Protein backbone atom coordinates (compact mmCIF):
# COMPACT_ATOMS: atom_id res chain seq x y z
CA UNK A 1 0.00 0.00 0.00
CA UNK A 2 1.20 3.49 -0.77
CA UNK A 3 2.68 5.36 2.18
CA UNK A 4 0.59 8.09 3.73
CA UNK A 5 3.26 10.76 3.75
CA UNK A 6 3.20 14.31 5.07
CA UNK A 7 2.06 15.68 1.71
CA UNK A 8 -0.89 13.24 1.62
CA UNK A 9 -1.75 14.10 5.22
CA UNK A 10 -1.66 17.83 4.51
CA UNK A 11 -3.84 17.41 1.44
CA UNK A 12 -6.46 15.53 3.48
CA UNK A 13 -6.32 18.17 6.21
CA UNK A 14 -6.79 20.94 3.64
CA UNK A 15 -9.77 19.17 2.03
CA UNK A 16 -11.43 18.55 5.40
CA UNK A 17 -10.86 22.15 6.52
CA UNK A 18 -12.23 23.54 3.26
CA UNK A 19 -15.35 21.38 3.17
CA UNK A 20 -16.24 20.53 6.78
CA UNK A 21 -18.95 23.19 7.04
CA UNK A 22 -20.87 22.02 3.97
CA UNK A 23 -24.24 20.40 4.68
CA UNK A 24 -23.66 16.63 4.63
CA UNK A 25 -19.93 17.26 4.36
CA UNK A 26 -18.70 13.68 4.72
CA UNK A 27 -19.54 12.48 1.21
CA UNK A 28 -18.10 15.54 -0.56
CA UNK A 29 -14.95 15.22 1.57
CA UNK A 30 -14.57 11.53 0.77
CA UNK A 31 -15.08 12.19 -2.94
CA UNK A 32 -12.55 15.02 -2.91
CA UNK A 33 -9.94 12.92 -1.12
CA UNK A 34 -10.42 10.00 -3.48
CA UNK A 35 -10.30 12.31 -6.50
CA UNK A 36 -7.06 13.85 -5.23
CA UNK A 37 -5.30 10.71 -4.00
CA UNK A 38 -6.95 7.88 -5.90
CA UNK A 39 -8.29 6.22 -2.76
CA UNK A 40 -8.94 6.88 0.92
CA UNK A 41 -5.98 5.78 3.01
CA UNK A 42 -6.75 4.30 6.44
CA UNK A 43 -4.73 7.10 8.07
CA UNK A 44 -7.10 9.68 6.56
CA UNK A 45 -10.05 8.29 8.52
CA UNK A 46 -9.03 9.82 11.85
CA UNK A 47 -8.37 13.20 10.21
CA UNK A 48 -11.84 13.15 8.64
CA UNK A 49 -13.45 11.99 11.89
CA UNK A 50 -11.74 14.72 13.93
CA UNK A 51 -12.64 17.40 11.37
CA UNK A 52 -16.31 16.39 11.36
CA UNK A 53 -16.56 15.64 15.10
CA UNK A 54 -17.54 12.05 14.34
CA UNK A 55 -16.09 8.71 15.32
CA UNK A 56 -13.64 6.79 13.15
CA UNK A 57 -16.23 4.02 13.05
CA UNK A 58 -18.80 6.38 11.53
CA UNK A 59 -16.37 7.50 8.82
CA UNK A 60 -15.27 3.93 8.14
CA UNK A 61 -18.92 2.86 7.94
CA UNK A 62 -19.64 5.39 5.21
CA UNK A 63 -16.51 4.46 3.27
CA UNK A 64 -17.34 0.77 3.34
CA UNK A 65 -21.06 1.26 2.66
CA UNK A 66 -20.51 2.95 -0.69
CA UNK A 67 -18.81 0.71 -3.23
CA UNK A 68 -17.44 3.75 -5.06
CA UNK A 69 -14.89 4.47 -2.34
CA UNK A 70 -11.57 2.67 -2.47
CA UNK A 71 -9.34 1.93 0.50
CA UNK A 72 -6.44 0.69 -1.59
CA UNK A 73 -4.65 2.37 -4.48
CA UNK A 74 -6.33 1.75 -7.83
CA UNK A 75 -4.55 0.23 -10.79
CA UNK A 76 -3.16 2.37 -13.55
CA UNK A 77 -6.39 1.75 -15.49
CA UNK A 78 -9.94 1.26 -14.22
CA UNK A 79 -12.43 -0.89 -16.09
CA UNK A 80 -16.10 -0.77 -15.14
CA UNK A 81 -18.58 -3.34 -16.42
CA UNK A 82 -22.22 -2.25 -16.60
CA UNK A 83 -24.52 -4.51 -14.61
CA UNK A 84 -27.81 -2.72 -15.36
CA UNK A 85 -30.77 -4.59 -16.84
CA UNK A 86 -30.35 -3.38 -20.43
CA UNK A 87 -26.76 -4.56 -20.54
CA UNK A 88 -27.67 -7.82 -18.81
CA UNK A 89 -30.31 -8.49 -21.46
CA UNK A 90 -27.60 -8.09 -24.11
CA UNK A 91 -25.05 -10.41 -22.51
CA UNK A 92 -23.16 -8.44 -19.88
CA UNK A 93 -23.18 -11.35 -17.42
CA UNK A 94 -21.29 -13.51 -19.91
CA UNK A 95 -19.00 -10.56 -20.68
CA UNK A 96 -18.45 -10.05 -16.95
CA UNK A 97 -17.36 -13.67 -16.56
CA UNK A 98 -14.96 -13.30 -19.49
CA UNK A 99 -13.53 -10.04 -18.11
CA UNK A 100 -12.91 -11.57 -14.69
CA UNK A 101 -11.24 -14.61 -16.22
CA UNK A 102 -9.13 -12.55 -18.64
CA UNK A 103 -7.93 -10.17 -15.93
CA UNK A 104 -7.68 -12.82 -13.21
CA UNK A 105 -9.50 -10.59 -10.70
CA UNK A 106 -12.99 -9.95 -9.42
CA UNK A 107 -14.88 -6.74 -8.82
CA UNK A 108 -13.22 -4.31 -6.40
CA UNK A 109 -9.83 -5.88 -7.06
CA UNK A 110 -6.65 -4.78 -8.79
CA UNK A 111 -4.42 -6.99 -10.90
CA UNK A 112 -1.17 -8.19 -9.33
CA UNK A 113 0.82 -5.96 -11.70
CA UNK A 114 -1.21 -2.93 -10.53
CA UNK A 115 -2.26 -2.19 -14.12
CA UNK A 116 -6.05 -2.74 -13.95
CA UNK A 117 -8.75 -2.31 -11.33
CA UNK A 118 -12.15 -3.87 -12.03
CA UNK A 119 -15.35 -2.25 -10.79
CA UNK A 120 -19.07 -2.85 -11.33
CA UNK A 121 -21.23 0.03 -12.43
CA UNK A 122 -25.01 0.08 -12.56
CA UNK A 123 -25.60 2.19 -15.63
CA UNK A 124 -23.35 3.99 -18.06
CA UNK A 125 -26.24 5.58 -19.96
CA UNK A 126 -25.27 3.69 -23.09
CA UNK A 127 -28.19 1.26 -23.13
CA UNK A 128 -28.73 1.37 -26.89
CA UNK A 129 -25.20 0.02 -27.35
CA UNK A 130 -25.28 -2.69 -24.68
CA UNK A 131 -23.35 -4.36 -23.27
CA UNK A 132 -21.15 -1.45 -22.25
CA UNK A 133 -18.02 -0.94 -20.24
CA UNK A 134 -16.02 2.09 -19.24
CA UNK A 135 -12.26 2.06 -19.62
CA UNK A 136 -10.81 4.90 -17.57
CA UNK A 137 -13.02 7.80 -18.73
CA UNK A 138 -14.15 6.28 -22.06
CA UNK A 139 -17.47 4.46 -22.46
CA UNK A 140 -17.34 1.59 -24.94
CA UNK A 141 -20.46 -0.05 -26.34
CA UNK A 142 -21.34 -3.36 -27.99
CA UNK A 143 -18.50 -5.06 -26.16
CA UNK A 144 -17.86 -8.69 -27.01
CA UNK A 145 -15.21 -10.87 -25.39
CA UNK A 146 -12.92 -10.40 -28.40
CA UNK A 147 -13.46 -6.62 -28.41
CA UNK A 148 -12.65 -6.58 -24.70
CA UNK A 149 -9.45 -8.54 -25.31
CA UNK A 150 -8.43 -5.98 -27.95
CA UNK A 151 -9.08 -3.12 -25.54
CA UNK A 152 -6.94 -4.75 -22.85
CA UNK A 153 -4.16 -5.32 -25.37
CA UNK A 154 -4.34 -1.63 -26.29
CA UNK A 155 -4.11 -0.67 -22.63
CA UNK A 156 -0.92 -2.60 -22.26
CA UNK A 157 0.59 -0.67 -25.13
CA UNK A 158 -0.79 2.68 -23.86
CA UNK A 159 -2.56 3.27 -27.16
CA UNK A 160 -6.21 3.06 -26.13
CA UNK A 161 -8.37 4.27 -28.96
CA UNK A 162 -12.04 3.81 -28.10
CA UNK A 163 -14.48 3.65 -30.98
pLDDT digits (tens, 9 = 90+) for 10-23: 999 999 999 999 99
Query: Are 103 and 50 members of one domain?
Result: no
End residue of a domain, out of 65, 86, 112: 65
Beta bridge partners of 140: 133
> Can you give the pTM of this predicted structure?
0.78
Domain that holds residue 89: 77-162
Q: Are residues 40 and 112 in the same domain?
A: no
pLDDT band at 128 (very low <50, low <70, confident <90, very high): very high
Query: Does 72 map to a domain?
Result: no
Whether residue 128 sits in one domain with residue 85: yes
The 10s digit of each residue's pLDDT in 42-99 is: 999 999 999 999 999 999 999 999 988 999 999 999 999 999 999 999 999 999 999 9
39, 65, 91: which is the final residue of a domain?
65
| Residue 3 pLDDT | 78
Domain count of the fold of the chain:
2
Specify whether 40 is located in the same domain as 113.
no
Residues 57, 116 within the same domain:
no
Do both 157 and 81 map to the same domain? yes
Structure confidence at residue 2 as a pLDDT band (50, 70, 90):
low
Asked if residues 63 and 72 have their Cβ atoms less than 8 Å apart, the reply is no
Which stretches within 73-125 are classed as H helix? 85-89, 92-103
Helix axes 42-52, 26-37, angle to 10 degrees: 150
User: Is 35 domain-assigned?
Assistant: yes
Distance, CA of 38 to CA of 8 (rounded, Å): 11
Amino acid sequence: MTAFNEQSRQQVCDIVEEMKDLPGAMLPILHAIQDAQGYIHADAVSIIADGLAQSRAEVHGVITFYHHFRTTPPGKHTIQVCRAEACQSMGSRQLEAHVKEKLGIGFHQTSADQQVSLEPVYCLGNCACAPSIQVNDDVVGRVTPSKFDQLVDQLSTQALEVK
